[in-house]
Structure 1
Amino acid sequence: MATIVLAPLPVPGHVNPSLRIARSLQGRGHRVHYLGILELEDEVRAEGFEFTPLFADVFPKGKLSELRATAARLKGPRLLWFLRTQAARFNQALQRMVDGEVDDTLRALRPDLLICDEKLRHLSVIGHGLGIPVLQMNVTIPPELIPREAGAERGPGRGGAMPGERLLTALGFFPRLRPSLLALARKHHYPLKEARGMPALDRALSPELLLCPREFAEVRVPSAPGEYCYIEPCIDRDRREPDFPWERLSGERPLVFFALGTLAATSAHNLRILREAFLAAGRRPDLQFVIAVGSSMEPSMFDVPPGVIAVKVAPQLGLLRKAAVMVNHAGTNSVKECIAFGVPMVSIPLQFDQPDIGRLVELHGVGRTIAPRDFTADRLLAALDGVLKDPACKQACEQLRTHFLHSEQTREAAGPIEAFIGRRAHGGPAASAQPQATGS
C-alpha cells in the first residue's frame, strides 16, 4: 500500500476530477491524503479522505470564496486596492513555502507519490527536492498537443506570463509567483526551463497526469516519450449535485442545457452572453432551455421567458443524462462530461485555456464554437440547429465516448499511477519512465 498526497487547485473544476482519482486509488488499498487550504477540508473529509491544511491562518475557511465574490463586484480603483491587499496575502504563503513550511508537512506525511496540480508548480519543486516522485495533475490539455490554424485564438497556455505580469508584480498587484518559484528551484536544485517568458517544469522529472485517454488529447500531434501519463477521463459520476426542479422538465421537447462554468463571472462577456441566451430561448418554444446563470448572479436579474428554467447552479451530470445539446464555455471538464454522456455541444470559449479546448471540440467534430465577442441570440440558435440537425456530431461524441468507457473499465485512474510508482520505486530514470505507454 502506498501513501499518496493529492494537492488540487481549490476550485471545483480541479477538485472534482481529483476525487475520482482518489477513490480509484483508495479502492486499490492505497492511503490517500489531501493537502491544501481549509476551503477544501469539508468536501474532502465528507468524501472519506484525510486532509492536512496549509497556511490556515492566511486562508481561513471560507476566505477564498469571500475573495472571489468581492473581486467579482469591485471595479476601478477599489478593485486595484483589493488586488494589492490580496497579493500581499498570497505573498505571505509563498514566502512560507520558501522558508520550508511545506517541506516539513510533506516530511511528516512521508508520501510515496505527490500528485499536485499543474498550476501549483511550487509544490512540484518542493517534492523533487525531498526526493518524492511527482505527477503534475493537468485538468486541461497541454496547448502544444492542439494544432491550430494560422491566426486562430489561443489560450494563455502552460504557465505563460500574463501581459504586464512583471510590472504588476513589482507594483504589488500580483503575487510574487516567479521570484518564489526561482527561489525554491535554487533551494531544491530543480532545473527549471523557460516557456513563453515564464519558468517551466521539466516534464521528464515530473510528468503530467492527463485526465483523459490518449485519443481525446492527441488529435494530430503525438506526445514525446516520458512527458504524459494518460488515464481515464476522471468524471466523478458520484459527486453530490445541487437540487433542481425536475418536475418542470418537458419530455416532449429537446433539452438545451446552458452553463458557462464556475469562473464565468470573471469574463467581461458573461453578462451580455447570458442576456442573449435568454433572448434566444424566448424565440424557440420548440426547445426546452435550462440556463444556469452562475453562483455570483441571480435568475431574477434576467428577463426569463415562459417555460425556460433559470437557476444559479445546475446538476450538470443529471441534466446531461437528458440533454440533446449543451452550451458550455469549452471548459475541459464540461467538454469531457458531454462526451461521456454522448451529448454534442456549442462552446463559447471565454478565457484561460478555453480557446484551445474549443479548437479541440471542432477538431473532434463533437460540436460548434462561437467566439464570445461574436455571440448573439441569432448565432446561438443557428449553431444549435446546426448541431441538432447534424448526425455526425452525435456520432463523433459516441465514438469518443467508447474510448472513455474503455479507459474507465479496463484501467481506472489508479492503474497508470500505480505503474508510475512502481517504475520510480525501482529507480528508473525520469526520462525513461514512459508513463504515456499506460494510456489507451
Structure 2
Amino acid sequence: MATILIAPLPVPSHVNSSLRIARSLQKRGHRVIYLGIPEIEEELRAEGFEFSAVFGDIFPRGKIAELRVTSAKLRGLRLLWFLRGQIREINKVFRRMVEGELDEHFARLRPALLICDEKLRHLSVIAHGLGIPVLQLNGTIPPELIPAKPGTPRGPGRGDVIPGEKLLMALGLVPRLNPTLVQLARKHGYPLKTTPRGQPVLDRSLSPELLLCPREFAEVGGQSAPGEYLYLEPCIDLERREAEFPWERLRDDRLLVLFALGTLADGSKLNRRLLEAGFAAAAQRPEWQFVIAVGSTGDPAAFKVPPNVIAVKVAPQLGLLRKAAVMVNHAGTNSVKECIYFGVPMVSIPLQFDQPDIGRLVEHHGVGRTLPPPEVTADRLIAALEEVVRNPAYKRACEALRLHFLQAEASWGAAGPIEEFLTRRTAAPL
C-alpha cells in the first residue's frame, strides 16, 4: 500500500475536515503521515496518526495560539507592528521553501501522493517538481460553483487582488505569497496559470481539488469541467475527540439551540456583539435551552448568562447536534455540513472569508436562514430561530440533502476516488 502525506492548514476547521479522509485511507491499509508545523502535532498524534514536523524553529508548538491571543488584545499601530513581525516570520518560511528545505523532507518520506490544503499551494508546486502526484484539499466550496445573489456580499475569489498589494508587500504588511509561488514554479517547472486579474493559480488538471461533499451540495451554479474536482462524501469525522461538557445539565423536555460561531471569530468586537445578542435572545425564550460557545479565548463569565443557557468556551458540536433542534452558526462549511448530516436546520451569520458564499448555499438549499452580521439583534435572531423551528420545510430540506450525504458515504466513501486518482496518475508518465 502507498505512503500518503496530508498537509492541512493548521487551524481546527481545516484539520478536522481532513480526519475522515485520513482514517478512510488508513483503514484501507495505506500509511498516512501528516505534515505541518508543531502546533497541530499533539492533536494529530492523539488521533492515531504519524506526524512529520516542519519549520518548528519559526513556529514552535503553542506559537499560533499565543499569536491569536496577543493579536486579539492589540489595536491600531500596535497591532500593525505586531502583524508586521509575524509576516517577517512567514516570509522566512517562504525563503526556506525556495532554498529546498521541503524538497529534502519529501525525499526522506518518499510519499506516493501528497494531499495538501489548497491554501498551501506552494507545496503542490514543490511536489510536482519531485514527481509526486498532488491533490488539493479544499475544505470549502469554490466560489465559482455558487451563484451570486444580487445585493449581497461575496467571499474573496482566488483571483482577487489586494488593493495596493505591491506597496503593502514592500512595507512588510502582506506576505510574499505570489512572488514565492512564481519562484517555486520556475525552479520546479510548474506551468502556472494566470487569472484575468494577473494572479498566479495552479492548474487543476495537474492537481485536482478534493471537495469534501457530494456533487449535489456544491454544484448549484453550473457544472465544473471534467477532472477539475474530485467529489467525496461529506467527510465528517464522527470519531474525532470533542471538548468536555456538562451533559447532565441538558433537559430533554426543552427545545435545544446550539450557538457557535467557529474558531476564527474569537476576540473581535463583532463576535462580542453577536454573542451578546445570542444571550439576550436566549433570555427571551426561557422555555428553550441554549448552549452558547464563546470561543477558546473567550470567558463565559464575562457575559450575562440567563438560567436557560449553558455557556462554554468550546462546545462538543457533534454530540450536541445529535440533540439540537436548530443551530446558530457562522456559515462555516464544516458546521453547515454537520448540521445537514444530523438533520438540524440552521440560522447562519456569515462573518468573513468564504462564509457569505456558504450562506448563499444555506438559503439556496432551503436548510436555514442567513442573517447579515450588521443586522443581528436579539429580536431578529429570535424571529429567525422561530421561523426555522416552526416551518417544517427547513427540516425537510435538511433531510433531503442528508440522504445524498449518506448515499455518498455508502457508495464510494472518502478513500475510493483518491485511490482511483492515484492509480491513474502513477500509471501515466509525469
The TM-score, its normalising length taken from structure 1, stands at 0.95
2:151, 2:407 → 1: CA distance? 36
Structure 2: runs of 5 or more not aligned:
none
Identity %: 69
CA RMSD of aligned residues (A): 1.3
Letter in 2 for 1:114: L
Deviations 1:256-315 (Å, cap 9, x if unpaired)?
A: 100000001265421111111111110111211111011111011111112211111100
Partners of 2:198 and 2:358 lie apart in 1 by: 22
Instruction: Give the 5 Å matches for 1:283-294.
Output: 283-294=284-295
Runs of 5+ consecutive residues of structure 1 not aligned to the other structure: 430-440
2:279 aligns with: 278
Aligned to 1:188: 188
Distance change in 2, residues 1:410/1:428 (3 Å) = farther
Change (3 A) 1:204 1:266: farther
SS in 2 for 1:282: helix
Distance (Å, rounded) in 2 between the aligned partners of 1:272 and 1:158: 30
Query: What is the aligned partner in structure 2 of residue 139 from structure 1?
Result: 139
Aligned 8 A contact 1:39 1:62 in 2: yes
Report the 3-state secondary structure (helix = DSSP H, G, I; strand = E; otherwise coil) of the residue aligned with 1:265: coil
The farther-off stretch of 377-386 and 329-338 is: 377-386
1:393 CA drift (Å): 0.6
- Structure 2 distance, partners of 1:65, 1:16, is 17
Instruction: With the length of structure 2 as denominator, give the TM-score of the two structures.
Output: 0.97
Contact kept? 1:17, 1:234, Cα under 8 Å: yes
The CA distance in 2 between the partners of 1:262 and 1:338, in whole Å, is 17
- Determine if contact 1:367/1:393 at 8 Å carries over to the other structure: yes
Contact map agreement 2:144 2:221 (CA 8 A) in 1: no
* Cα distance between partner residues in 1 of 2:239 and 2:415: 17
Partner of 1:99: 99
Measure the CA separation in 2 of the matches of 1:186 and 1:221.
Answer: 34
3-state SS of 1:423 partner: helix
Tell me, yes or no, if structure 1 residue 360 matches structure 2 residue 369.
no
SS of corresponding position for 1:264 = coil
**Which secondary structure state, in structure 2, belongs to the residue aligned with residue 269 of structure 1?**
helix
The residue type equivalent to 2:333 in the other structure is: T
Partner of 2:72: 72
1:428 Cα offset (Å): 7.4
Distance (Å, rounded) in 2 between the aligned partners of 1:286 and 1:197: 56
Partner of 1:3: 3
**Deviations 1:190-249 (CA, angstroms, capped at 9, x unpaired):** 122223553111111110000111111112411111100001111010111111111111
What residue is the counterpart of 1:372 in the other structure?
373
Residue 411 of structure 1 is matched in structure 2 by: 412
Superposition map of 1:44-59 within 5 A: 44-59=44-59
Superposition deviation, residue 152 in structure 1: 2.1
Indicate the residue corresponding to 2:168 in structure 1: 168
Question: Structure 1 stretch 202-211 or stretch 159-168: which is displaced more?
Answer: 159-168
What displacement does 1:426 show? 1.5
In the TM superposition, structure 1's runs of 4+ consecutive aligned residues that sit over 6 Å from their partners are none
- Kindly indicate whether the alpha-carbon contact (under 8 Å) linking 1:267 and 1:350 is maintained by their aligned counterparts in 2: no
**How far apart are 1:43 and its partner, in Å?**
1.3
SS at match of 2:48: coil
Residues 95 and 265 (structure 1), Cα distance of their counterparts in 2 relative to 1, 3 Å cut = same
Aligned pairs for 1:82-161 within 5 A: 82-158=82-158, 160-161=160-161
The count of corresponding residues between Structure 1 and Structure 2 is 429
Give 1:253's aligned residue: 254
Quote the Cα distance in structure 2 between the aligned partners of 1:13 and 1:148: 25
Q: CA deviation at 1:159?
A: 5.9
Counterpart CA distance in 1 for 2:261 and 2:198 is 30
